Amino acid sequence: MTDERLKLPLFLKASLLLIGLIALIALLYLARSIIVPVIFALIIAIVLHPVVNFIIRIKINRVVAILITIFLTFLVIVAFGTLIISQVSRFSESLPVLVDKFTSFATRASPGLRAIMILIRKRFTSGLRKPRLIWLLPEAL
């Protein structure tokens, strides 16, 4: 028997590979609204599978074990959501005080920082090296 496979030149193989990759990327881009939830569902299923197996070992029906796991997962998500919401509300309540403290600190520290920046500018401009931080300083110095 003779080998009658079609031998393609290298440029044609490379072109077909490139077209195939572009088609795959386009397909994945178009199907992202389906693929992303499926991937998240797979991750959640993989993470929760040991919990279901543990509940099954306690001699509870598999369907009931899955329902218990889903309920516990929902409770954990609600608990984290409540925690995040409470922290954001506390932060939003204390934000004006924090802004006032930062503003007063910045106004008190600005003369000292200005003096430090003048010293840095003098050091960089007096040596043979080109100044690197000069663009950070105001031109009025």
- Domain range annotation of the chain: 35-136
For the chain, the straight-line distance linking the first and the last C-alpha, in angstroms and rounded, comes to 89
CA distances from 22 to 9, 81, 137 (A): 20, 40, 49
88 and 94 in contact (C-beta within 8 Å)? no
Q: What predicted TM-score, i.e. pTM, was given to this entire model?
A: 0.52
Q: How many CB atoms are located within 10 Å of the residue 55 CB?
A: 19
Instruction: Give the tokens for residue 135.
Output: 């663009």
Residues 40, 46: Cα–Cα separation, whole Å: 10
Per-residue model confidence as pLDDT tens digits over 51-62 = 999 999 999 999
Return the pLDDT at 115.
Answer: 75
Return the pLDDT at 140.
Answer: 47
The ranges of the chain with pLDDT < 50 are: 128, 131, 140-141
Return the pLDDT at 126.
Answer: 64
Q: What is the DSSP string of the chain?
A: ---------HHHHHHHHHHHHHHHHHHHHHTHHHHHHHHHHHHHHHHHHHHHHHHHHTT--HHHHHHHHHHHHHHHHHHHHHHHHHHHHHHHHHHHHHHHHHHHHHHHHHHHHHHHHHHHHHHHHHSSSPPSSGGGS-TT-
Return the pLDDT at 3.
Answer: 60
